[in-house]
Structure 1
């Protein structure tokens, strides 16, 4: 509520200092500190900050662009890496089994024959991997690989128990390598089931 400028008698209202109410109000307004105007440089900086904020908001609100699919070269390199990670260890496993079987029966190791069999196993495994690996995650393919692994394992036990050393030298390394490939392609529980069935067959043959 604004203070009265006159009193009840019609004369200007006077405060304790002897000034009228209107004069004291004017002095109060004059005593209030005035806000200094912003300098041109400060105004330019503020405008620049506001522009940068608006630009950053515009960038944040922009939807992310979808990633481009990998090119032919990238897909080829990934496929080559996949084949290398599977085939090179299996081919090396085949060569190691060859050496172990030859050592077990006291046969002389011929390096040319060893490398020749290793190269053949690499090519055969590459063909099998190219045909069966793309759909190996399906249930039907898993069942097929499971039955194949069980048959290979049981036949490997039969060869090692009943055949002569020459048959074991020729058949044990490739069969064991195929069994290792099947174990890689199978899910862990199916692989465990196949190994359990082969172990049970081995126990039955020994008994």
Structure 2
């Protein structure tokens, strides 16, 4: 005959003893500890990268980095504008330096207001010349209708002529003109000469300097 268990009446809340939970943690190593101890996660990540590389897949992390780099890259137009500002402002500062030096050379009293005005005017001229002449991916065509493969040689020809003419003219005015003409013309001509040499390839730059040196030697001029 089956026994019938006596059902225990539930204890009241007052009869239940309160007890703090066990916060000591597991006494033995867990699976996570074992995996970290054997560096299984790093091995799994390396294996995943190898398999992705074999299949020609792009890893998501690398793709995310590339996307971030693409977002940070300026557009060609903005990059061209920033490059133009960098070059022309640098040339303007060089013009300012030349202007001050040439006035100091002739012992003229410095008028910084006039110097600042001349520097600002020079910057405008440099920007007008730099914008179409300087090669950039946003400005590959200098002369529309001209074959693209001849655009760079055309630029080199222009800068070569600019370098040779500017160098020879600077030597000429330094030896033949009075100090007022030298103070007025030497700073911008010197900046154009330097800029043209920078834009030229090495061989063309050397050739343009040889032309200026030959002009100096032929007319027996002196360098001041």
- TM-score calculated relative to the size of structure 2: 0.61
- Specify every segment of 5 or more residues in structure 2 that has no aligned partner in the other structure, as ranges: 1-30, 36-40, 143-150
Larger mean Cα displacement after TM superposition, 72-81 or 157-166: 72-81
Question: After TM superposition, what 4+ stretches of structure 1 lie above 6 angstroms from structure 2?
Answer: none
Deviation at 1:81, TM superposition (A): 3.6
Hey, what does 2:173 align to over in structure 1?
159
1:119-175 Cα shifts (integer Å, max 9, x gaps) = 111121111111101358711220121012111111111111111111101100000
SS in 2 for 1:63: coil
- TM-score calculated relative to the size of structure 1: 0.65
The answer on 1:63 being equivalent to 2:64 is no
Hey, what does 1:131 align to over in structure 2?
132
Aligned CA-pair RMSD? 3.1
Deviation at 1:84, TM superposition (A): 3.6
SS in 1 for 2:130: helix
The whole-number CA distance in structure 2 between the counterparts of 1:72 and 1:79 is 16
- Number of equivalent positions: 160
Hey, what does 2:24 align to over in structure 1?
none
Deviation at 1:117, TM superposition (A): 1.0
Hey, what does 1:16 align to over in structure 2?
none
Given that 2:95 and 2:187 are in contact with CA atoms closer than 8 Å, whether structure 1 keeps it comes out as yes
Q: How does 1:36-55 map to 2 (within 5 A)?
A: none
The whole-number CA distance in structure 1 between the counterparts of 2:218 and 2:52 is 71
Hey, what does 1:103 align to over in structure 2?
104
- Specify every segment of 5 or more residues in structure 1 that has no aligned partner in the other structure, as ranges: 1-40
SS in 1 for 2:107: coil
